[in-house]
Copies of this chain bind each other. A is one copy, B any other.
């Protein structure tokens, strides 16, 4: 029953949809009511053909010869991405990164709310981070239940991240954003996205050497 279903949209398409959303918001802020794949693609930094192909996954929301209605299209993408409801986020790890993430403007996107932040370090527990107070990692289960957490962010070292993935899975938190430098073994049914800063820097080093 609670089995993970097949993904409907290619992941690359989903990533671009978020860019179209931002672009549509920018156009709306400029007072535009209608737009075309050319204009929108430019604003989103992609090529118009793939934009149209991406949108075609959602159905026909444009008008041939005319274009798209900005607000209508934005609304439709919002619904498709599941952004028409609230997501309650838990941050694990109250070090530099965890603290920064809990305050980071990018997390203040409509619909995402950081509900709690946990750490294992007794010296850290109880300290303030923005509106929140750092809680004890050992209370993970009760915090998840109390705050009805949907999404966890792992800002902890590699091995701790791997251990937490299993705990979170058991607690029914199936969506995780991990900053651990190590690729994690992911339990069935769980969705994990990784942001790997050290890999990004190393890729830049390689590219710099090439040029």
Residue numbers of A with Cβ under 8 A of B are 2, 4-5, 7-9, 11, 14-15, 18-19, 21-22, 44-46, 80-83, 87, 89, 96-97, 99-101, 103-107, 109, 111-112, 150-151, 157, 174-177, 179, 181-185, 189, 191, 193, 195-211
Contact = CB atoms under 8 A, between A and B. Distances in A.
23 contacts: A4-B210, A8-B210, A14-B203, A15-B203, A18-B199, A19-B183, A22-B181, A22-B182, A45-B182, A87-B204, A96-B100, A97-B100, A97-B104, A99-B100, A106-B181, A106-B198, A107-B197, A107-B198, A107-B201, A150-B208, A151-B204, A175-B207, A176-B204
Closest 10 CB pairs of A and B: A100-B100, A45-B183, A82-B209, A191-B207, A96-B100, A4-B211, A175-B204, A106-B197, A18-B202, A106-B198
Contacts of A96: 99-100, 103-104
Q: Which of A175, A176, A193, A205 has the most CB of B within 10 A?
A: A205
A21 B81 CA distance: 36
Contacts of A204: 87, 151, 175-177, 191, 193
Contacts of A151: 201, 204-205, 208
A179 B48 CA distance: 25
Nearest to A112: B201
Given A82-B208, A109-B202, 14 more contacts: A4-B211, A14-B203, A18-B196, A18-B199, A22-B181, A44-B183, A45-B182, A89-B201, A97-B100, A99-B100, A112-B205, A151-B208, A177-B201, A189-B211
A153 to B, nearest CB: 9
